[in-house]
């Protein structure tokens, strides 16, 4: 395919020529997109609103395209496949073709690139040689060959530099930067099978610490966005992570894979305008996570549709109107009939009641013309006592207020949660001023679903409601502009972007602004932490039930989380979900894996088998110290690691310790470059070296200690004054 690289080329120079061509093409595409964007911007804000909206839509698409081309700059090309049939193809972050549409670079997600990840010597699948290209900036610094079909190679007269797993091990040994990198150059076969699994249904990926679940989940999102562009372009992909810190850690992986159409957030991030600062007991969180809380919230909303104890008479211009309980009951039943949420159905109830009361007035008069009737109706509507009476029977309410009232007023809780025991209800009670907690998030969302928008809320529109005219018009615009081959946009996407007010919003932006948005696919990381109520909340966001769920049931720390996948998945997906396991840890050295596994087994955690991809000499060290010197010893170990890592290019060091000693550690640490973190917060993160302090204190939740022990890529120091938990020790 590349004339420059002859069949006998094995050296860097030939590869450098190919890589130069690829970057040259990338620069050209970027310049073209910049020029077009410049043209559009130069046209300025003039023209009809229609013209402006077309221009805005195209400007956004070119901006996205430029961002995509910028994001693939680093390691644009990382592999080459030589096939037994003589074909050669280069594999990279995105696909590139030359000006005559001849392919130059194959996107890693394209079917043709699959062999780069899945071919083995036992099953070469037509691959003679797989070559890893290592680059720094635009410079090729190394090539390594992985010969899969020696016979074919000999016949072709080529002898490669046999390199085996060098590229993977080099990637694993690289120092950590505090931000997750992509693994696109070294995806392993068991990971590749998960990344490329079909999109339909739910795929659960169980794997021990460091087996690449997060990496695989992100690459799968990029793979699905690439392969199901039509379906996912308009609906987007939702990615749920455990914390803001975690999202920052992973946030540039997707763009660097060439994808910008995903919304990454936490569960709490899906519920707008609510600050979560409260903490509560495990027992309370467990109750709130149970699926029977859905019925409690439903009942609490229903209780807001009240019927007074007696009929009430109001006088209008001296004439009596009776607000009858029977009318209220009847009007409420009718308003509920079409299934709209509480706040939205309220208008029907109020209208019905006003009609009935107007009827009563009209009956007291003779000959009421239509105009008179309208006048009477206005009088009824404007009457303050009537407005108050109607409001009391069906009060609009926000989810936050509903929950605040429910958990602070025991009579409301008794009514709504009569299925819960007295003791359980007592656990739920708290002052009205108490801050919201993580376990409240799915309850707030459940309430928001049943309550709907407050009366002033603007009606929502989304892409699925696009009219056929809008789509037709977008097609015409595409034809007129004639430039869509470059930005590959479909008419639907363009139409939804051209719609007034959304022209400059991407799918991700519109989706994250709309609580009721439904996504094309949902990826959940650290999924073992989710309660049944949290799963309910997520399943609402993907009615097609297309999920990638990654987690480790041995690392569960949330009281309402799961320790057994079928328990969480069966109620949601019935028998249609599939389980895959990842078994090799790419993060932790063998000795760390052995230490963590031994503790986890002794603590009865449901650990899966785990082997480590590499060995690091003396990876684990125990330090027994006096209680009075616990803090200073931990600091000494950590700063020693910082110093020794600095000799080999630096690295990240963390102290994972019980929260009670964080302040003392911070004080003694000064400004040394060491992160102090709790076991829970360290979930999903990784460091070159980790000092775990007082494991016995962390082990009150065994899953938390298991998480803490499995964060380092190179060194684990354990500093303790109390006896070690069972399963640990030199
Ligand atoms: N095929 C691979 N090539 C290179 N690095 C890899 C590969 N697979 C995983 N890694 C690296 O291993 C480390 C652990 O990966 P990741 O964080 O995805 O694991 P995890 O299973 O989510 O771990 P945990 O359960 O502890 O959160 C990361 O640094 C990741 O980049």
**Atom 24 of ligand 1: nearest residue by CA position:** 209
**Atom 16 of ligand 1: nearest residue by CA position:** 212
692 beta partners: 656, 718
List, as residue ranges, the binding site for ATP. Answer: 207-214
Pair 518, 542: CB distance under 8 Å: yes
Per-residue DSSP letter, 305: B
Per DSSP bridges, beta strands 584-585 and 611-612 are parallel
Torsion of CA 427, 433, 437, 439, to 10 degrees: 50
Strand positions, DSSP E, 200-344: 202-207, 237-240, 262-265, 312-316, 319-323
Q: How far apart are CA 79 and CA 113, in angstroms?
A: 9
Nearest atom within ligand 1 for CA of residue 707 = 26
The per-residue b/e assignment along 336-356, b for 16 or more CB within 10 angstroms, e otherwise, is: eeeeeebbbbbebbbebbbeb
- Quick one: pLDDT at residue 380? 92
Q: How far is the CA of 215 from the centre of ligand 1 (A)?
A: 6
- Tell me the best of 108, 166, 190, 215 to mutate to test the pocket of ligand 1, counting ligand atoms within 8 Å of each CB and taking the most: 215
| The token pair that represents 94 in the structure block | 């995105």
**Atom 18 of ligand 1: nearest residue by CA position:** 212
Distances (CA, A) of 55 to 49, 63, 510, 630: 10, 12, 19, 63
Per-residue DSSP letter, 276: B
**Predicted structure pTM score:** 0.80
Q: How far apart are CA 283 and CA 300, in angstroms?
A: 21
Torsion of CA 60, 65, 70, 73, to 10 degrees: 170
Q: How far apart are CA 214 and CA 656, in angstroms?
A: 21
Give ipTM to 2 decimals.
0.98
- Degrees, nearest 5: CA angle 169-175-176: 115
Half-sphere exposure of 42 (CA within 13 A, CB side): 6
Q: Which residues contact 388 (CB under 8 A, 6 or more apart)?
A: none
- Tell me the best of 186, 210, 548 to mutate to test the pocket of ligand 1, counting ligand atoms within 8 Å of each CB and taking the most: 210
**How large is the angle between the packed helices 440-451 and 532-540, nearest 10 degrees?**
40
- Quick one: pLDDT at residue 45? 61
Q: How far apart are CA 707 and CA 681, in angstroms?
A: 10
Pair 84, 25: CB distance under 8 Å: no
Low pLDDT (below 50) residues in the chain? 1-9, 160-165, 457-463, 481-487, 500-503
Pair 29, 22: CB distance under 8 Å: no
**Atom 30 of ligand 1: nearest residue by CA position:** 212
Q: Which residues contact 32 (CB under 8 A, 6 or more apart)?
A: 486
DSSP string, 448-492: HHHH-S-TTSPPP--GGG--HHHHHHHHHHHHHH--HHHH---HH
Strand positions, DSSP E, 329-448: none
Q: How far is the CA of 685 from the centre of ligand 1 (A)?
A: 10
| The token pair that represents 358 in the structure block | 């107007």
**Atom 9 of ligand 1: nearest residue by CA position:** 212
- Quick one: pLDDT at residue 720? 97
**Atom 27 of ligand 1: nearest residue by CA position:** 684
Nearest CA-CA partner of 688 in 725, 642, 723: 642
| The token pair that represents 662 in the structure block | 């964080």
Q: How far is the CA of 590 from the centre of ligand 1 (A)?
A: 15
Q: How far is the CA of 75 from the centre of ligand 1 (A)?
A: 19
Q: How far is the CA of 720 from the centre of ligand 1 (A)?
A: 28
Which residue has tokens 């125990």? 622
Q: How far is the CA of 191 from the centre of ligand 1 (A)?
A: 10
Per-residue DSSP letter, 82: E
Count how many residues are written for the chain. Answer: 730
Element (H, E) at 549: strand 547-551
**Atom 14 of ligand 1: nearest residue by CA position:** 210
615 beta partners: none
List, as residue ranges, the binding site. Answer: 207-214
Strand positions, DSSP E, 625-724: 653-656, 675-677, 687-693, 712-720
Binding-site residues, ligand 1, Cβ < 6 A? 168, 171-172, 181, 183, 186-188, 191, 207, 209-215, 552, 586-587, 684, 686, 710
| The token pair that represents 309 in the structure block | 């104890």
pLDDT, tens digit, 9 for 90 and up, residues 474-524: 666 555 544 434 445 566 665 665 554 444 556 777 777 788 889 999 999
| The token pair that represents 165 in the structure block | 């797993």
Phi, then psi, of 83 in degrees rounded to 5:
-90, 155
Nearest CA-CA partner of 290 in 554, 530, 565: 530
């Amino acid at each position: 395919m590349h004339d420059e690289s002859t069949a006998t080329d094995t050296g860097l120079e030939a590869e450098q020529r190919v890589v130069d061509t690829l970057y040259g093409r990338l620069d050209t595409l970027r310049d073209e997109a910049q020029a077009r964007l410049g043209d559009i911007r130069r046209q300025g804000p003039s023209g009809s609103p229609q013209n402006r909206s077309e221009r805005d839509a195209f400007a956004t698409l070119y901006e996205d395209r430029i961002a995509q081309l910028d994001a693939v700059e680093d390691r644009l090309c990382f592999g080459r496949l030589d096939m037994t049939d003589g074909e050669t193809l280069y594999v990279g972050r995105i696909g590139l073709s030359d000006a005559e549409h001849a392919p130059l670079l194959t996107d890693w997600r394209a079917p043709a690139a699959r062999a780069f990840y899945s071919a083995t010597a036992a099953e070469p699948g037509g691959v003679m040689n797989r070559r890893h290209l290592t680059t720094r900036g635009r410079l090729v610094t190394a090539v390594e060959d992985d010969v899969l079909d020696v016979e074919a190679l000999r016949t072709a007269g080529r002898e490669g530099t046999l390199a085996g797993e060098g590229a993977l091990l080099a990637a694993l040994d690289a120092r950590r930067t505090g931000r997750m990198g992509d693994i696109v150059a070294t995806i392993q076969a068991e990971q590749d099978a998960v990344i490329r699994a079909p999109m339909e249904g739910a795929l659960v990926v169980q794997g021990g610490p460091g087996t690449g679940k997060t990496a695989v989940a992100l690459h799968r999102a990029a793979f699905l966005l690439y392969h199901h562009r039509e379906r996912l372009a308009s609906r987007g992909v939702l990615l749920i992570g455990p914390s803001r810190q975690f999202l920052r850690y992973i946030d540039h992986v997707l763009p660097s894979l060439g994808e910008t159409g995903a919304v990454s957030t936490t569960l709490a991030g899906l519920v707008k305008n609510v600050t979560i600062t409260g903490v509560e007991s495990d027992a309370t969180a467990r109750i709130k996570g149970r699926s029977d809380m859905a019925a409690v919230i439903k009942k609490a909303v229903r209780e807001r549709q009240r019927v007074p104890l007696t009929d009430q008479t109001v006088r209008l211009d001296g004439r009596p109107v009776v607000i009858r309980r029977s009318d209220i009951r009847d009007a409420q039943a009718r308003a509920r009939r079409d299934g709209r949420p509480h706040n939205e159905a309220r208008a029907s109830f109020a209208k019905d009641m006003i009609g009935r009361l107007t009827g009563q007035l009209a009956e007291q008069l003779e000959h009421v013309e239509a105009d008179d009737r309208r006048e009477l109706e206005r009088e009824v509507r404007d009457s303050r006592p009537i407005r108050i009476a109607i409001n009391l029977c069906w009060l609009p309410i926000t989810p936050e207020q509903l929950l605040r009232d429910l958990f602070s007023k025991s009579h409301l809780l008794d009514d709504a949660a009569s299925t819960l025991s007295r003791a359980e209800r007592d656990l739920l009670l708290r002052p009205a001023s108490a801050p919201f907690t993580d376990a409240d998030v799915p309850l707030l969302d459940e309430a928001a679903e049943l309550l709907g928008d407050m009366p002033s809320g603007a009606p929502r529109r989304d892409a699925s409601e696009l009219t056929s005219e809008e789509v037709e018009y977008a097609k015409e615009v595409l034809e007129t502009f004639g430039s869509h081959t470059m930005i590959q946009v479909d008419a639907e996407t363009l139409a939804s972007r051209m719609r007034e007010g959304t022209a400059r919003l991407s799918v991700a932006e519109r989706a994250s602004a709309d609580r009721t948005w439904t996504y094309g696919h949902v990826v959940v990381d650290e999924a073992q932490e989710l309660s049944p109520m949290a799963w309910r909340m997520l399943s609402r966001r993907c009615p097609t039930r297309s999920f990638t769920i990654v987690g480790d049931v041995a690392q569960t720390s949330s009281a309402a989380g799961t320790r057994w996948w079928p328990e969480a998945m069966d109620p949601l997906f019935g028998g249609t979900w599939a389980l895959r396991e990842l078994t090799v840890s790419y993060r932790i050295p063998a000795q760390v894996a052995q230490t963590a596994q031994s503790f986890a087994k002794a603590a009865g955690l449901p650990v899966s088998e785990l082997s480590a991809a590499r060995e690091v000499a003396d990876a684990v060290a125990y330090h027994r110290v006096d209680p009075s010197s616990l803090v200073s010893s931990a600091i000494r170990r950590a700063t020693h690691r910082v110093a020794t890592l600095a000799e080999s290019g630096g690295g990240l060091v963390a102290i994972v310790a019980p929260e009670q000693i964080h302040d003392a550690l911070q004080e003694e640490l000064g400004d040394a470059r060491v992160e102090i973190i709790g076991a829970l917060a360290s979930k999903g993160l990784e460091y070159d070296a980790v000092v775990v302090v007082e494991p016995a204190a962390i082990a009150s939740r065994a899953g938390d200690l298991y998480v803490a022990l499995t964060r380092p890529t190179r060194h684990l120091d354990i500093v303790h004054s109390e006896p070690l938990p069972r399963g640990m020790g030199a």
